[in-house]
Structure formats: C-alpha cells, structure tokens
Chains A and B, each alone.
Chain A
C-alpha cells in the first residue's frame, strides 16, 4: 500500500499497450500476405485487455492491465479477383488477409497515446516519491 505500486500499475499498462502495438505492426506488415506457414492467408490478430488487481493486498479498485488473450479478427477475409495468381481458386479469386489498414492505424495511435499517458503517470509518481523521501530535509 504505497505509491510504488503505481509503478506496477503503469508498468502493466505499458506492457499491454506495447503488445497491442506489436500486434498492430504484425497486422500492418502482413496486410498483403496471401499465404503463410499453414498455406492460408494471414488472419488479423487483436489483443483483449483485462483489468486485474496487481496483488492480493491491494485495496479495492486498484488494478493493472493484462493481455487476456490474442484473438483472430472475426472479420471476413477479403476476396480479390486475380486469376493470374498461383493462389487463385478455380473461379479466379484470391483470399486476402482481413486486415483493415485504417483501423490498424487508429489502433496504433491509440496505443501510443495510452503508452505516453502511462509514462507521464510514472514520471509524476517518481517525483512524488522523491519528494516524500526528502521529507524533513
């Protein structure tokens, strides 16, 4: 029960947001990957956040963030007519990844802003702790 638990809270959020940023990077990089190790087109991934108390002793309402799971984006795959492609089906359609580049860009900005907010929280908390340590001097 002290200010130092805020480092854990903000730290968990920074880890979670950097995982989200990683997933965004993976989705953006593979926006046009027609095939992968399983022979199918890349499926976009999304992270699911969950609020979790950082320890058993923390008072009520104090919680950090964890990435509960990474899910496959349920959006339908894109079909592109390209009969010349070696991956085209008998009708000439190629299954393309269901990555929505615009959505991923907004996701990226949101993740980086949240990350910054948590860095700010950490800096302020650090200053407060330093002031507390210097009490009486």
Chain B
C-alpha cells in the first residue's frame, strides 16, 4: 500500500526530508530578512514620533541562533492565565530587537536617523532579493536533478 505516489509524498512530510533541508537555510534567512524589513519600516514610519527608539536586529547573531534551533528560553508551568510565561516570546525565533546607537540625539527623544534607516532598508532589500535568487537557484537545480530527461 505504501508504494502509491500519494503515500510517498506524505512520508516526506513526517520528518525533514532532503528537499526541506535544501531550503532550510534560505528559509530561515528569508524569515529574518522579513522581520528586519518590518523593523526598519517601523523606524522610518516613526521618524517623527517623540521618544521613539529606533530598533534593529543583529542579523549574523540571529542567523546563528536560528540555525542552532534556539527558539526561546525555558517555559514555565502556568496554573493561571495571569501567570507570567517565563519564556521570551517576543520577536521571532527568540531574536530580540536591539536599540540603535544614537549618532545625533534629537530634542524630542527620538533616535531615528533617516539616512541610516534608508541605507539599511536598501541594504536589507537587496539581501532579501539575493536570498530569493539563491532559492530560485536551488529550485532550478533540484528540479533539474528530479527530472530524468
């Protein structure tokens, strides 16, 4: 019964198959790039909000954590919905946004520097697109290997 194509397909879903593994790295990178893009967009959006602190993530460090599989801290047992969870569920994959170092402090307590943010935004967009290109390469390469002709 297991020799039908449908079952072969389902078997692959249980654990991480080789196709999953082929995409795992780029998938994690893409998720982090998306998160970073959201953070920088928030910074640009809040460029005129008093007391707003610009945030960003350390990409290399976050990527290391994502690859090591560190998601969050210890989970505490909760007997009441108002108990604190203990685990840090902020950010994604336990990645914590950090505050940017202020270059030119502003009188209203805002730490967004539009030049820096726009530069980082462009950089992150380019890196996102490179990741897409790498994924496309993997898709084409794997597709070529899968096709027998």
Q: Do A and B come from one complex?
A: yes
In whole angstroms, how far apart are the Cα atoms of A17 and B49 in the complex? 11
- In the complex, which residues of chain B have a beta carbon less than 8 angstroms from the beta carbon of A59? 35, 38, 90-92
Please tell me which stretch of B7-15, B40-48, B69-77 contacts chain A, meaning at least 4 of its Cβ atoms lie within 8 angstroms of it: B40-48
A12 contacts B92, C-beta separation under 8 Å: no
Contact of B39 with A136 in the complex, beta carbons under 8 Å: no
Q: Is the contact region of chain A dominated by helix, strand, or loop, or is it mixed?
A: helix
* Chain B contacts for A6, CB-based, 8 A: 37-38, 41
Contact of B49 among A10, A50, A117 (CB under 8 A): A50
The reply to whether the CB of B86 lies closer than 8 angstroms to some CB of chain A is no
User: Quick check: B38 and A5 within 8 Å, CB to CB?
Assistant: yes
Residues of B within 8 A of A58 (CB): 38
Query: What CA separation (Å) do A5 and B90 show in the bound complex?
Result: 17
B26 vs chain A, min Cβ distance (A)? 10
In whole Å, how far is A135's beta carbon from the nearest beta carbon of chain B? 6
Residues of B within 8 A of A2 (CB): 34
Q: Are A65 and B46 in contact (CB under 8 A)?
A: yes
Q: Which 10 A-B pairs have the closest CB atoms?
A: A60-B90, A61-B97, A13-B45, A61-B55, A49-B49, A136-B139, A6-B41, A62-B38, A9-B41, A60-B91
The interface of chain B, by Cβ under 8 A from chain A, is: 34-35, 37-39, 41-42, 44-50, 52, 55, 90-92, 96-97, 114, 118, 121-122, 125, 128-129, 132, 135-136, 139
Not counting A1-B34, A124-B122, A136-B136, a sample of 18 additional A-B residue pairs whose C-beta atoms are within 8 angstroms of each other reads A1-B35, A3-B38, A49-B46, A51-B49, A59-B35, A60-B97, A61-B42, A61-B90, A61-B91, A62-B35, A63-B45, A64-B45, A65-B49, A121-B45, A124-B121, A128-B125, A135-B132, A136-B139
